[in-house]
């Protein structure tokens, strides 16, 4: 990351030898702190609203976060026949929690994020993402998600959403077979897991490796969905779903088309289209 003389926030993407720049307002940085786990900063931009960075990497902006949060939640929930108990690992900004609780059938959603400061800062600077935090169905736990998954009661969760940062540091373990096995154990029968899986263009090998690891962990079916996310590396992002005795590639699109809550990006036809991955990604997955 660098702040140029022209007051641009610039993040360089080493994997793709490219970068993105967001022009800042005169106020520029409005908050910065070092939590026990990471550096969190908030900027004001001229066209993308508020910007949150963690360890100098873009986490979300006011303008485009809805795409990510909707695609991390609604496809997985509509892939499950009757989701009632949901767990989010990560997701400290609470945007995914908000989308999950739009589903009236969800009875309880636990968000497990190791860093409470991400949530408290989101409540200050992204209050629109946190308006479901006081929903009686919501529960926030600020503990290690990997450890929680190892200790949770088997078969106690219908849907697991792993809304993690990039697979480095303490998030690296979230992409391993060992973690996926604990998720499979935690899921009821049937159950669905979804995890953010980086850029199809820059990280096709990582996505292919996730397919291999999820199947090695014992999941029956694995599907990757892709969607635009212009402030993330390459501007193109993905999430990967895995099913326990359910095929996430065969969602309840009839129910999705009749949903009684608003979305800005997600709808049933888009869900169907997002399941169709490009040839190069399919070849990478098949080669694993």
By CB neighbour count within 10 A (0-12 exposed, 13-18 middle, 19+ buried), where does 253 fall? middle
Are 71 and 85 part of one and the same domain?
yes
Report whether 192 contacts 243 (CB < 8 A): yes
Q: How does DSSP assign 48-93, residue by residue?
A: S-EEEEETTEEEEETTTHHHHHHHHHHHHHHHSSS--EEEEEE-TT
Question: Could you read off the pLDDT of 207-233 as tens digits, one per residue?
Answer: 999 999 999 999 999 999 999 999 999
Domain that holds residue 246: 65-287
pLDDT value for 228: 98
pLDDT value for 240: 98
Banded pLDDT at 27 (limits 50, 70, 90):
confident
Are 47 and 86 part of one and the same domain?
no
Question: Could you read off the pLDDT of 113-172 as tens digits, one per residue?
Answer: 999 999 999 999 999 999 999 999 999 999 999 999 999 999 999 999 999 866 655 566
pLDDT of 38 over the 70 cut: yes
Looking at the structure of the chain, the number of domains it has is 2
Q: Which of the following is catalytic: 93, 113, 163, 166? A: 163
- Which DSSP symbol is given to 33? E
Report whether 227 contacts 238 (CB < 8 A): yes
Residue 167 CB coordination number (10 Å): 19
Banded pLDDT at 176 (limits 50, 70, 90):
confident
Could you give the residue ranges of the DSSP H alpha helices within 138-203? 145-151, 177-186
User: 165: helix, coil or strand?
Assistant: coil
| Run of H or E residues at 281 | helix 279-287
pLDDT value for 175: 80
pLDDT value for 6: 62
Question: Could you read off the pLDDT of 180-212 as tens digits, one per residue?
Answer: 999 999 999 999 999 999 999 999 999 999 999
Are 9 and 104 part of one and the same domain?
no
Banded pLDDT at 272 (limits 50, 70, 90):
very high
Are 25 and 98 part of one and the same domain?
no
Are 150 and 50 part of one and the same domain?
no
By CB neighbour count within 10 A (0-12 exposed, 13-18 middle, 19+ buried), where does 96 fall? buried
- Which DSSP symbol is given to 242? E
When comparing pLDDT for 16 and 238, which is higher? 238
Banded pLDDT at 5 (limits 50, 70, 90):
low
For residue 9, give the CATH number of its domain.
Answer: 2.30.140.10
Q: Could you give the CA distance from residue 106 to residue 96 in angstroms, rounded to a whole number?
A: 13
- Give yes or no: 115 in active site: no
If you average pLDDT over residues 236-244, what whole number do you get?
A: 98
Question: Could you read off the pLDDT of 75-117 as tens digits, one per residue?
Answer: 999 999 999 999 999 999 999 999 999 999 999 999 999 999 9
Are 81 and 43 part of one and the same domain?
no
Question: Could you read off the pLDDT of 276-288 as tens digits, one per residue?
Answer: 999 999 999 999 8
Are 48 and 77 part of one and the same domain?
no
Using the Cα atoms of residue 225, residue 239, residue 70 and residue 134 in order, give the sign of their dihedral: positive
Which residue matches tokens 């199947």?
A: 215
Are 47 and 131 part of one and the same domain?
no
pLDDT value for 169: 57
pLDDT value for 1: 47
For residue 156, give the CATH number of its domain.
Answer: 3.40.50.150
Count the helices and strands in the chain (H runs, E runs): 9, 13
């Amino acid at each position: 990351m660098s702040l140029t003389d022209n007051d641009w926030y610039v993040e360089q993407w080493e994997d793709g030898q490219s970068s993105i720049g967001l022009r800042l307002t005169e106020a520029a940085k409005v908050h910065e702190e070092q939590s026990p786990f990471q550096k969190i900063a908030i900027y004001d931009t001229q066209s993308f609203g508020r910007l949150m960075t963690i360890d100098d990497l873009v986490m979300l902006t006011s303008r485009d976060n809805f795409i990510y949060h909707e695609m991390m939640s609604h496809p997985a929930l509509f892939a499950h026949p009757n989701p009632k108990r949901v767990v989010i690992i990560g997701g400290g900004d609470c945007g995914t929690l908000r989308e999950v609780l739009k589903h009236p059938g969800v009875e309880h959603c636990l968000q497990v994020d190791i860093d409470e400061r991400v949530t408290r800062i989101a409540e200050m600077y992204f209050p629109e993402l946190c308006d479901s935090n006081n929903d009686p169905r919501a529960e926030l736990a600020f503990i290690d998600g990997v450890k929680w998954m190892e200790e949770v009661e088997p078969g106690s969760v219908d849907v697991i959403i792993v809304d993690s940062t990039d697979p480095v540091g303490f998030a690296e373990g979230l992409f391993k077979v060992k973690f996926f096995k604990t998720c499979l154990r935690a899921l009821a029968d049937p159950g669905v897991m979804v995890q953010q899986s980086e850029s199809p263009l820059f990280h096709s090998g990582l996505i292919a490796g996730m397919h291999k690891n999820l199947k090695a962990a014992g999941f029956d079916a694995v599907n990757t969905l892709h969607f635009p996310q212009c402030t993330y590396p390459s501007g193109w992002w993905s999430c990967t779903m895995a099913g326990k005795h359910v095929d996430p590639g065969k969602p309840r699109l009839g129910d999705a088309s009749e949903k009684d809550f608003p979305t800005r990006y997600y709808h049933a036809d888009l869900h169907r289209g997002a399941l169709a991955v490009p040839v190069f990604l399919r070849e990478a997955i098949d080669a694993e």
